[in-house]
Amino acid sequence: MIRYERFFKLEANEEKSRLMMNAFGFLMHEKEKGISGYYNLPIDGENLLKEINSYIIQEDEVYQNAENIVVIGIGGSSLGAKAIDSMLRHKYNNLKKLLFLENPDPVSISKTLNRIKKHNSIFVVISKSGGTIETTSIFKTVLKEFDMDLKSEDAKRVLIISDEGSPLCKFADFYGIKAFTIPKNVGGRFSVLSSVGIVPLSLAGYDMRNVLKGAKHMIKRFFNSKEEHIAIKALYYCKNYQKTPINVLFSYADFLEDFTKWFIQLWAESLGKIDKDGKNVGLTPVAHIGSIDQHSFLQLIMQGPRDKTVTFIKVEDFENDLKIPDISLKYIEKTDYINNHTFNELINAECDATKESLVKEGIPVDTITLDKVNEENVGELIAYFELLTSYAGAIFDINTYDQPGVEFGKKILVKKFKGN
Amino acid sequence: MIRYERFFKLEANEEKSRLMMNAFGFLMHEKEKGISGYYNLPIDGENLLKEINSYIIQEDEVYQNAENIVVIGIGGSSLGAKAIDSMLRHKYNNLKKLLFLENPDPVSISKTLNRIKKHNSIFVVISKSGGTIETTSIFKTVLKEFDMDLKSEDAKRVLIISDEGSPLCKFADFYGIKAFTIPKNVGGRFSVLSSVGIVPLSLAGYDMRNVLKGAKHMIKRFFNSKEEHIAIKALYYCKNYQKTPINVLFSYADFLEDFTKWFIQLWAESLGKIDKDGKNVGLTPVAHIGSIDQHSFLQLIMQGPRDKTVTFIKVEDFENDLKIPDISLKYIEKTDYINNHTFNELINAECDATKESLVKEGIPVDTITLDKVNEENVGELIAYFELLTSYAGAIFDINTYDQPGVEFGKKILVKKFKGN
C-alpha cells in the first residue's frame, strides 16, 4: 500500500479543470490508440513471463550453473532493472547476481569483467534500436574476453532484447540466439516493465508477477479516475515550471538511490522539450537521500532561492528491528534520548522533521509513503511516476516520448571516428 | 596536471573588476585571519601524517590485522573520504577496505555490519560537533553488536575524530581512546584534507602526502593570482544565478560519482543562504555521469529551459588500454567504425561531442581536464572546488561556512523523541 499526501494547494478554476480534462483525455487516447504502449505492459506481462519460463526450462543446464546475470545495456536499457534490483534484493535469499556493463568506462568494464567467468554467466544484451554504440562495443569485448564462439554452445548464454526487426534481432536470428522483443510503441525510459526489465530480473530470481500486478492496478485506478492526485501534482508542477523549475526527490532509504536515478532520466528526458510555440519547457529533477543530505542540500532548500518542489519517499516499515542499544557513554549522554528506539523510527522521524520544517517555510511538499518495500509497491511506484510524467507531458503539450536533443551529439561522435 | 577551459564569455567592466578584487581580498583576509582554516590544511598535513604514523607504529598489531577501516560518520564526515577512495582505489593493490556506516538506514547498517568482524576492523568515529545523533547511535550499535568493552584492548581499535574539547573528545580522553582533532575554523564540508579525510584514507593505505601537495600548490597559485579562471567562473555563476540557477557537473568516469556527491554538498550548503538584504540566494548543483546520462538528462539540457551551466570533467588518460575488438557481427556492422579503438578514446570522444553540441546551443560550458587520475590531481581538484565555493560566497556576500537552515529540522527531531 502506498499513501500519497500533498502539502500545497492548487487553486481550482475553470481553465485548470479544462487542462486536466484534456490531459486525461489525451492519455486515454494514447493508451487506446497504442500511441504509447507502456500502459499495457503489465497486461502483456503474463505472456512474457511464460516466454522466460520456457527459456529457463529449455536451457536448464546453462541457467542452473549461472551465478551472474550480466546486463549489457545503457540508460533506459539498464536503469530500470538496476532500480528494482536495489530496492528488493535485501528481501530475498539465493538470488543470482545482477551485474551491469553500462558505461564505456574502461576502468569499470575491466573491474566487472574480472568478477565473472563465462561458465557462470548469462549475458543479456539490451538495445532498443539495436545499434547503441556503447552496448555493441561492450558486447564485442565480452565475446573476445571470454573467447566466445557464437556458433557453439556459447550462443546459449547470450540473450538479446531489442525492437522487433532491429539489426540486433536479425543478428540473434542469424546465430540462433534467443531474442525477446520490446514493443515498438514503448520508449526506452518507459520500458522497465517490458522484456527490458522483466527478463534480467526474472532470471535473477525475482517474482516479477507481483511487480506487474502493482503497476497494473495503479494504471487501472488512474484511468478509472481514482488517482486524481497525480493530475493535480502534474498540473501544479507544469503551471509553476518557471517559478519552481527544480523538483527534488528526497528518499529516506539507501536502497531507493537507484530508483531515483531511473526517475531522473524519465522526468528529464520526457519533459525537457521545445513545445509547439517553440518555447523551451521542462522541469529539472534532482534526487537526494535522507538523512545524509539533510546535513547539506537541505540548507539550500531552506534558505536558497525558492525554486524547488520537494517530494519525500518514506518507507514506513523497513522490516528490520535493529535498535539503538541502551548504552550511555560518558560525555555524550545528551544523545541517549534515542536509546531503545529502532533505526527505522529514527530515519522516519528525521524524514517527518525535515518535511515539517519545509512545509513551515511554505515550500511545495508532497509525500509518498510505502507501508513496506515489496513487489507490488515497487510496481505501483513505477507506474505512478510514469503516469505523472505522461500527464505532465500532456499539459506541456509536447511529445513526451521522443528525444531529438540527444541525437546531435551522436552525429558529432560518428564524425569524429568516421570523418565526414 | 589539470587544464581548465571556458566556453562562455564574461564581459569585463568596472563593477565586475571591483567585485572580483573585493572577493579576492576577502578570501585573503579569511586565510590570514584564520576565519576559515581550510586554506592551511595542506600545510598542517605534515604534522598530521606524523601523528597517524605514530598511531600505526604504536598499535602495530591491531593495524596489521585490520582488513577494514570502518568510518562511522555522516555528510561532511564521510563524503570526502568516500570521494577520494572511489577515485584512487583502482590505482592501488593491497589497500585495506574502507567501509562507511553513514545513513541511519537499518537495512544498510545491517548489511555492512554483516561484512565485518571486530578482530579485523578499526572503527573511526567522526563527528565535528561530537554529538551527531546518527553517528553516536551507530557507534553504540557497533559496540553492542561486537560486544566491545572500551575498558579492554578493544579501545585500541576505536579512533575518534572531532573538534578539540567536544563531548566526543572528552569521551575519548576518559576511555584512553586515541583522538585526532579537527581545527575549529574548518567546517565539515571543507574538512576532507583535515584529519576527517586524511586519517581513514592513510589507514587504508593511500599516499595522502601527494593529495595534500596537489591542494597546496593550487591554493598557493590561487593566492598568487595565477588561477584567475576561478574568479571569472564564480563571478559569472553568481551574476547569473537567476538566469542559470542550476550548475550541472557532467563527469565522464564512473569513479568520479562520489566526488560529485562531495561537490554537491559543498556547493549547495555553502551558497544556499539568506544574504544581507534578506534575499534567498544560492545555486543548485546537479551531477551526472557520461556517457550514461547523455542518453537522458542531456535532452533536458539541450531542449529544456536555458537555466543551466554545464561543467565537464574529463580524464584524458585512464591508464587502461581495453580495446573494442576488431569483430564484425552480421547485421550490426554499422557499429564497426569503433573497432580497434580503446574505450578510453570512445568515452572521451563522447564527452567532446556532447560538449560541442552544448556550446553550439550557446549553453555556458566549461571543461576540467585531468591528464590522469593521480593523488596530486585529486588534491588540486578538491582545492579548486573549495576555492570556487569560497569565491562565490564572497561575491554573494554571505557566510559561506555556516548552515542555519539545517538546524530547524534537528530541533523538531529532538522534540519528537523527548517531547517539549
Q: What's the rounded mean pLDDT across residues A24-38? A: 97
Q: Is the pLDDT of residue B420 over 70?
A: no
Q: What's the rounded mean pLDDT across residues A57-84? A: 97
Amino acid at B383: A
Q: Grid cell 574548518 — which residue?
A: B186
Flag whether A238 is in a domain. yes
The C-alpha atoms of residue B127 and residue A295 are separated, in whole angstroms, by 12
Q: Which residues contact A275 (CB under 8 A, 6 or more apart)?
A: A281, A396, A397, A398
Give residue B18's region: left, alpha or beta (phi > 0; psi -120 to 50): alpha
Q: Grid cell 530470481 — which residue?
A: A205
B60 burial type by CB count under 10 A (0-12 exposed, 13-18 middle, 19+ buried):
exposed
Written as nine digits, the cell of B179 is 583522538
The C-alpha atoms of residue B253 and residue B246 are separated, in whole angstroms, by 21
Helix, strand, coil percentages (3-state) for chain A, rounded to 5, are 55, 15, 30
pLDDT band at A420 (very low <50, low <70, confident <90, very high): low
Residues B8 and B88 in one domain: no
User: Which range is least confidently modeled, A10-24, A136-150, A173-187, B204-218?
Assistant: A10-24
CA A45 vs CA A82, A83, A84, A188, A202: distances in Å: 19, 19, 16, 17, 12
Flag whether A419 is in a domain. no
Q: Is the pLDDT of residue B383 over 70?
A: yes
Q: What's the rounded mean pLDDT across residues B133-160? A: 97
Residues A97 and A157 in one domain: yes
A325 touches chain B (CB under 8 A): yes
Amino acid at B132: T
Q: Is the pLDDT of residue A79 over 90?
A: yes
CB A391 within 8 A of CB A19: no
Q: What's the rounded mean pLDDT across residues A203-208? A: 98
Amino acid at B206: Y
The C-alpha atoms of residue B312 and residue B248 are separated, in whole angstroms, by 8
Flag whether A351 is in a domain. yes
CB atoms within 10 A of CB A12: 10
For residue B323, give the DSSP letter.
B
H helices, E strands: number in chain B: 15, 12
Q: Do A308 and B170 touch (CB under 8 A)?
A: no
Written as nine digits, the cell of A141 is 569485448
Written as nine digits, the cell of A273 is 522539450
Residues A196 and A97 in one domain: yes
The stretches of B205-284 forming alpha helices (DSSP H) are: 208-223, 228-239, 257-271
Of A174, A206, A238, which residue sits at a domain end? A206
CB A79 within 8 A of CB A258: yes
Nearest to B340 by CA among B359, B327, B331, B330: B327
A89 touches chain B (CB under 8 A): no
Pairing of strands A97-101, A68-72: parallel
Q: What's residue B265's pLDDT?
A: 98
Nearest to A303 by CA among B403, B19, B319: B403
Flag whether A236 is in a domain. yes
Q: Grid cell 561537490 — which residue?
A: B263
Locate the chain B residue with the closest alpha carbon to A298: B406
pLDDT band at A186 (very low <50, low <70, confident <90, very high): very high
**Which active-site residues of A does the annotation give?**
269, 295, 410
Pairing of strands B280-281, B273-274: antiparallel
Q: Which residues contact A135 (CB under 8 A, 6 or more apart)?
A: A72, A73, A74, A77, A125, A126, A127
B151 touches chain A (CB under 8 A): no
Angle between helices A228-239 and A375-396 (to 10 degrees): 40
Q: What's the rounded mean pLDDT across residues B215-238? A: 97
Q: Which long-range contacts (CB under 8 A, 24 or more apart) does B412-416 make?
A: B412/A352, B412/A353, B412/A356, B412/A357, B413/A349, B413/A350, B413/A353, B413/B133, B414/A337, B416/A349, B416/A352, B416/A353
The C-alpha atoms of residue A268 and residue A283 are separated, in whole angstroms, by 7
- Of A110, A409, A416, nearest to B357 by CB-CB distance is A409
CB A306 within 8 A of CB B280: yes
B119 labelled catalytic: no
Q: Is the pLDDT of residue B375 over 90?
A: yes
Q: What's the rounded mean pLDDT across residues B346-368? A: 97
**Catalytically annotated residue among B269, B375, B376, B380:** B269
Nearest to B48 by CA among B155, B178, B171, B193: B193
Buried b (16+ CB within 10 A) or exposed e, B140-165: bbbbebbebebeeebebbbbbbbbee
Residues A228 and A202 in one domain: no
Written as nine digits, the cell of A7 is 502539502
- Spell out which residues of chain B touch residue A347, defining contact as CB-CB under 8 Å: 103-106
pLDDT digits (tens, 9 = 90+) for B289-344: 999 999 999 999 999 999 999 999 999 999 999 999 999 999 999 999 999 999 99
Residues A172 and A244 in one domain: no
For residue A300, give the DSSP letter.
H
Q: What's residue A409's pLDDT?
A: 87
CB B192 within 8 A of CB B385: no
> What is the percent of chain B where pLDDT is above 90?
98
> What is the percent of chain B where pLDDT is above 70?
100
Q: Do B406 and A133 touch (CB under 8 A)?
A: no
Residues A146 and A246 in one domain: no
Partners of B272 in the β-ladder: none
Task: Provide the terminal-to-terminal Cα distance of chain A, rounded to the nearest Å.
Answer: 56
- Spell out which residues of chain B touch residue A412, defining contact as CB-CB under 8 Å: 352-353, 356-357
Flag whether A414 is in a domain. no
The C-alpha atoms of residue B338 and residue A136 are separated, in whole angstroms, by 10
Of B182, B206, B230, which residue sits at a domain end? B206
Q: Do A265 and B168 touch (CB under 8 A)?
A: no
pLDDT band at B87 (very low <50, low <70, confident <90, very high): very high
B362 touches chain A (CB under 8 A): no
Please state, rounded to an integer, the average pLDDT across all residues of chain B: 97
Flag whether A412 is in a domain. no
Q: Grid cell 500511441 — which residue?
A: A35
- Of A295, A304, A356, nearest to B74 by CB-CB distance is A295
How far is the alpha carbon of A3 from chain B, nearest alpha carbon, in Å? 21
Written as nine digits, the cell of B240 is 547569473
Q: Is the pLDDT of residue A415 over 90?
A: yes
Q: What's the rounded mean pLDDT across residues B88-92? A: 98
Residues A25 and A63 in one domain: no
Residues B10 and B105 in one domain: no
- Spell out which residues of chain B touch residue A105, defining contact as CB-CB under 8 Å: 252-255, 318, 343, 347
Q: Which residues contact B201 (CB under 8 A, 6 or more apart)?
A: B81, B84, B85, B98, B208, B211
Q: What's residue B408's pLDDT?
A: 87
Written as nine digits, the cell of B155 is 579501545
Angle between helices B343-360 and A407-418 (to 10 degrees): 130
Residues A199 and A302 in one domain: no
Q: What's residue B418's pLDDT?
A: 87
CB B265 within 8 A of CB B75: yes
**Catalytically annotated residue among B295, B330, B334, B418:** B295
Written as nine digits, the cell of A329 is 557513554
- Count of structural domains within chain A: 2
B241 touches chain A (CB under 8 A): yes
Flag whether B412 is in a domain. no
Residues A186 and A300 in one domain: no
Per the omega criterion (within 30 degrees of 0), is the bond before A291 cis? yes
The C-alpha atoms of residue A147 and residue B62 are separated, in whole angstroms, by 45
Q: Do B322 and A349 touch (CB under 8 A)?
A: no
Q: What's the rounded mean pLDDT across residues A235-259? A: 98
The C-alpha atoms of residue B233 and residue B248 are separated, in whole angstroms, by 14
Q: Grid cell 507481483 — which residue?
A: A210
Residues B140 and B244 in one domain: no
Nearest to A189 by CA among A382, A407, A394: A382
Q: Which long-range contacts (CB under 8 A, 24 or more apart) does B169-174 make?
A: B169/B130, B170/A330, B170/A331, B171/A329, B171/A330, B171/A331, B171/A332, B171/B130, B174/A330, B174/A331
Written as nine digits, the cell of B263 is 561537490
How far is the alpha carbon of A224 from chain B, nearest alpha carbon, in Å? 31
Instruction: Provide DSSP, B90-134.
Output: GG-SSPPEEEEE-S--HHHHHHHHHH--GGGEEEEEE-SSS--HH
Locate the chain A residue with the closest alpha carbon to B130: A332
Containing structural domain, residue A329: 2-32+211-404
pLDDT digits (tens, 9 = 90+) for A329-349: 999 999 999 999 999 999 999
Per the omega criterion (within 30 degrees of 0), is the bond before A270 cis? no
The C-alpha atoms of residue B120 and residue B70 are separated, in whole angstroms, by 10
Residues B154 and B230 in one domain: no
CB atoms within 10 A of CB B294: 26
- Spell out which residues of chain A touch residue B271, defining contact as CB-CB under 8 Å: 300, 304
Q: Do B75 and A292 touch (CB under 8 A)?
A: yes
CATH number reported for the structural domain that contains residue A362 in this entry: 3.40.50.10490
Nearest to B394 by CA among B26, B31, B40: B26
Q: What's the rounded mean pLDDT across residues B233-239? A: 97
Written as nine digits, the cell of B11 is 564581459
Q: Using alpha carbons only, give the angle A334, A339, A343 rounded to the nearest 5 degrees.
A: 115
Q: Do A298 and B90 touch (CB under 8 A)?
A: no
Q: Which residues contact A401 (CB under 8 A, 6 or more apart)?
A: A36, A187, A190, A270, A393
CA B298 to chain CA centroid, Å, is 24
Q: What's residue B54's pLDDT?
A: 97
A115 burial type by CB count under 10 A (0-12 exposed, 13-18 middle, 19+ buried):
exposed
How far is the alpha carbon of B224 from chain A, nearest alpha carbon, in Å? 31
CB atoms within 10 A of CB A371: 12
For residue B342, give the DSSP letter.
B
Q: What's residue B419's pLDDT?
A: 78
The C-alpha atoms of residue B102 and residue A253 are separated, in whole angstroms, by 12
Flag whether A409 is in a domain. no
Locate the chain B residue with the closest alpha carbon to A136: B335
pLDDT digits (tens, 9 = 90+) for A355-397: 999 999 999 999 999 999 999 999 999 999 999 999 999 999 9
Of A189, A206, A223, which residue sits at a domain end? A206
Q: What's the rounded mean pLDDT across residues B37-53? A: 97
